[in-house]
């Protein structure tokens, strides 16, 4: 028995609040150079089927700073590249470690891996979602404003992306209003929007989304695996750049977020991402602290479930 974290709905609102409280505590401990050893003797396996900078660095640093150890397993350098069934890799990995973080393509791959892995699995990114990044973004917003609830977030650009889906998942859980500004063909599907009724608003004009927003968010216009579409995407999204004129429509104390890497001069201008309203570097750092809290959450919850296992089986007869 275990607790996976494949999307934001895998934790309740109360569990998310507890996770953010723990992340604040861990951030302060890091600032004060206090040693935290909650994961001493524990091992994290990081499986990468997509390139990574912040996910790799933050998860490995997080596990080390919690007193544990991380193993970096690149799919290209493992037996997965030679055709080993994903289920077989999952069965083995789950017996070697205490938690797995997987960064992959289709959601069905991480679902299959989690099904066959006895260790808890964390979604480090899939085509359908980026929940660890959204947790970090929402934590950063809370850090700046004291709360996420009641705030208006404007996501500009390709809102059908994994970031757009995960922000939509979070809207109801964290009680914020989400404006998704995209041209035709770049909005999320109806079934995604229905995840947060009354909280998500689709618009075509980025200025409409930015008006009186507390947070302006964007992402690259061409994600991994979409390189062949790059020319078309640049043309379609040309009017959705976050620049000074767009930021002026937001509230005076509004902040700018970007999960990185950023392409200055495309989805965002340099004077915005490097300017006074940018919270991008706090956002990047917060990956470390939020993911420490997340690792603790899934590992400790899985430990408790295993301890309760015999009693649960006995109760079921």
pLDDT in tens, 36-47: 999 999 999 999
Active-site residue, from 133, 241, 277, 291: 133
CATH number, residue 165: 3.40.50.1370
Active-site residue, from 3, 103, 165, 233: 103
Which residues, listed in sequence order, are joined to residue 200 by a DSSP beta bridge?
178
At residue 309, does pLDDT exceed 80?
A: no
Q: Is residue 179 part of a domain?
A: yes
- Compute the residue count for the chain: 317
**pLDDT band for position 252 (cuts 50, 70, 90):** very high
Is 97 among the catalytic positions?
no
At residue 80, does pLDDT exceed 90?
A: no
Is 133 among the catalytic positions?
yes
**pLDDT band for position 137 (cuts 50, 70, 90):** very high
At residue 316, does pLDDT exceed 90?
A: no
Q: Is residue 33 part of a domain?
A: yes
Q: Is residue 2 part of a domain?
A: no
**Share of residues in the chain with pLDDT > 90 (%):** 90
> What pLDDT is recorded for position 227?
76
Active-site residue, from 42, 56, 287, 289: 287
Q: Is residue 174 part of a domain?
A: yes
Q: Is residue 268 part of a domain?
A: yes
Is 243 among the catalytic positions?
no
Q: Is residue 190 part of a domain?
A: yes
- For residues 207 and 190, membership in a common domain is answered with yes
- For residues 27 and 124, membership in a common domain is answered with yes
> What pLDDT is recorded for position 163?
96
Q: Which of 302, 6, 288, 251 has its CA nearest to residue 139? A: 288
**pLDDT band for position 222 (cuts 50, 70, 90):** confident
Is 130 among the catalytic positions?
yes
Active-site residue, from 97, 144, 259, 289: 259
Is 207 among the catalytic positions?
no
Active-site residue, from 54, 130, 165, 199: 130
Peptide bond into 190 cis (omega under 30): no
At residue 212, does pLDDT exceed 90?
A: yes
- For residues 41 and 178, membership in a common domain is answered with no
Domain boundaries, position 105: 8-129+284-316
Q: Is residue 3 part of a domain?
A: no
Is 219 among the catalytic positions?
yes
Active-site residue, from 4, 137, 158, 219: 219
Instruction: State how many domains the chain has.
Output: 2
- For residues 244 and 219, membership in a common domain is answered with yes
Q: Provide the whole-model pTM.
A: 0.95
Q: Is residue 154 part of a domain?
A: yes
> What pLDDT is recorded for position 224?
67
**Share of residues in the chain with pLDDT > 70 (%):** 97
């Amino acid at each position: 028995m275990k607790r996976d974290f494949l999307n934001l709905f895998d934790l309740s609102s109360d569990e998310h609040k507890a996770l953010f409280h723990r992340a604040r505590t861990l951030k302060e401990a890091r600032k004060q150079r206090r040693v935290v050893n909650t994961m001493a003797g524990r091992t994290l396996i990081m499986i990468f089927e997509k390139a990574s900078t912040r996910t790799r660095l933050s998860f490995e640093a997080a596990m080390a700073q919690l007193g544990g150890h991380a193993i970096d397993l690149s799919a290209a350098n493992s037996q997965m590249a030679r055709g080993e069934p994903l289920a077989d890799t999952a069965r083995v990995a789950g017996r070697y470690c205490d938690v797995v973080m997987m960064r992959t393509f289709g959601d069905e791959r991480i679902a299959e891996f989690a099904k066959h892995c006895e260790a808890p699995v964390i979604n480090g990114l899939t085509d359908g979602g980026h929940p660890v990044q959204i947790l970090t973004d929402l934590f950063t917003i809370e850090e700046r404003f004291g709360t996420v609830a009641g705030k208006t977030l404007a996501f500009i650009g390709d809102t059908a992306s994994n970031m757009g889906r995960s922000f939509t998942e979070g809207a109801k859980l964290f009680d914020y209003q989400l404006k998704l500004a995209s041209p035709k063909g770049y909005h999320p599907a109806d079934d995604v929007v229905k995840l947060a009724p009354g909280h998500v608003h689709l618009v075509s004009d980025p200025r409409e989304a930015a008006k009186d927003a507390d947070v302006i968010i964007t992402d690259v216009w061409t994600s991994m695996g979409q390189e062949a579409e790059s020319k078309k995407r640049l043309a379609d999204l040309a009017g959705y750049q976050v620049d000074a004129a767009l930021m002026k429509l937001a509230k005076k104390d509004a902040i700018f977020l970007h999960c990185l890497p950023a392409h200055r001069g495309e989805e965002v201008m340099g004077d915005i991402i490097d300017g006074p309203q940018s919270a991008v570097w706090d956002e990047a750092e917060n990956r470390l602290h939020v993911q420490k809290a997340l690792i603790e959450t899934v590992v400790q919850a899985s430990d408790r479930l295993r301890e309760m296992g015999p009693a649960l089986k006995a109760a079921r007869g």
